[in-house]
Amino acid sequence: MKLALGKLPPELLRKYVFSMTGAKSKELVLSPRVGLDFGVVKLRSGFLIVSSDPVTGVAKNAGWHAVVVSANDVATSGNRAGFMQSVILLPERVDEAAVRELTSKMADAARRLGITIVGGHTEVTPGLDRPIVMTTAFAVAPSFVTSGGAKAGDTLMMTKSAGIEGTAILAEEAATRGASPTTVRRASRFFERMSVVDEAEKAFETGFVHAMHDCTEGGVLGAVYEMSFASHLGLEVHEDRIPVAQETRAVCSVFGVDPLKLIGSGALLMAVEGGKEEVVKGALATIGTPVTSIGRFREGRRTILVHQKGGRRTLIRDSPVDELWRMETTAHLVST
């Protein structure tokens, strides 16, 4: 069976990835599972939190993306990454200026987030048409939460808006599809909204956040499904409460894509103790981060999207194929 672009389906992950992890270790606190953002190893004092991520579908600003996405995953533990490793695979005929551009963007992002890049590997690789950058972020922390820690009755809160990363990625091409210069200019600046490090740290400090997850591949709908699955709980999400920026709607309209299924690094999902929503909202207000209540966790195992028109309810059975991968697959089919 030929596999689709994007993440492997959960059943294949469980069969071929999560079950093949080498030697057992009693120091491993959090083992790989669907919907989890990082692994955790017990140290003599505290925990080592580790997360790896590749950037494969982006050429422009790949260095910035690579640092931010791994830092975001670690941040969903409630802690800030301090160190990072990188693997950079460059296409043939790459020039020195392109290398400088990529690594300088990585250094800039790491500097802003307080991360030290400690090593890795860089090479020119045959068969690539764009750079592939993989990063692994590390934090040492006394405590943490995971995406699987939600409790029945928790409110699902979301920072910022849907499709942030995808909006920035699609901005430049949107200009060639008739989007207004103002929309393109504003959308291209969404790169600046991609980090969730500050907001995750601030939310965790309140003590009322039981779980956190960032919106990456599959967008908001992918993230809510994974969070529900990881927490072994049902989740009801209201479509009309999910914030979507005007620029995102405009860009998505140009390409005919769903902003709720568009890669969304920059938006953080939080399971917040019922009745403590205003405490978390107030904490995030101190750093200028907007947050919205979009749903509630409950007993059961069904993830349901309540639509704004007529209250129709849709069962979310899996993380959807990200709209960027769907667009790439469609473009490939058309070209062949």
What pLDDT digit, counting tens, does each position of 270-306 carry? 999 999 999 999 999 999 999 999 999 999 988 989 9
What pLDDT digit, counting tens, does each position of 191-244 carry? 999 999 999 999 999 999 999 999 999 999 999 999 999 999 999 999 999 999
Identity at 328, one-letter amino acid code? E
Identity at 245, one-letter amino acid code? A
Number of other CB atoms surrounding residue 228 within 10 Å: 30
Q: pLDDT category, 330, cuts 50, 70, 90? A: low
Q: How far apart are CA 145 and CA 76, in angstroms?
A: 7
Q: How far apart are CA 267 and CA 290, in angstroms?
A: 10
Q: What DSSP designation does 15 have? A: I
Residue 280, helix vs strand vs coil: helix
pLDDT at 335 over 50: no
The lowest-confidence range among 60-69, 83-92, 324-333 is 324-333
Q: What is the set of domains in the chain, with CATH numbers?
A: 26-141 (3.30.1330.10), 155-330 (3.90.650.10)
What pLDDT digit, counting tens, does each position of 41-52 carry? 999 999 999 999
Determine the pLDDT at residue 56.
Answer: 87
Strands (E), 65-115: 83-90
Q: Of 11, 44, 10, 7, which Cα lies nearest the Cα of 27?
A: 44
Q: How far apart are CA 141 and CA 75, in angstroms?
A: 11
* CB under 8 A, 24+ apart: contacts of 287-290: 287/198, 287/199, 287/202, 289/159, 289/160, 289/198, 289/199, 289/202, 290/159, 290/160, 290/243
Q: Which residues of 198-226 are buried (b: 16+ CB within 10 A; e: fewer)?
A: ebbebbbebebbbbbbbbbbbbbbbbbbb
Q: Cβ(243)–Cβ(162) under 8 Å? A: yes
| Rg value, the chain, Cα | 19
Q: pLDDT category, 329, cuts 50, 70, 90? A: low
Determine the pLDDT at residue 155.
Answer: 98
Q: pLDDT category, 336, cuts 50, 70, 90? A: very low
DSSP conformation letters of 119-171: EEEEEE-TT-SS-EEEEEEEEEES---BTT---TTPEEEEES-TTHHHHHHHH
Determine the pLDDT at residue 100.
Answer: 96
CA 19 to chain centroid: 24
What mean pLDDT value characterizes the chain? 93
Determine the pLDDT at residue 161.
Answer: 98
Q: How far apart are CA 195 and CA 192, in angstroms?
A: 8
Our separate counts of H helices and E strands in the chain read 10, 13
Q: How far apart are CA 25 and CA 146, in angstroms?
A: 20
Any bridge partners for residue 117, and if so which?
A: 84
Rounded (5°) CA angle 170-171-174: 85
CA 78 to chain centroid: 15
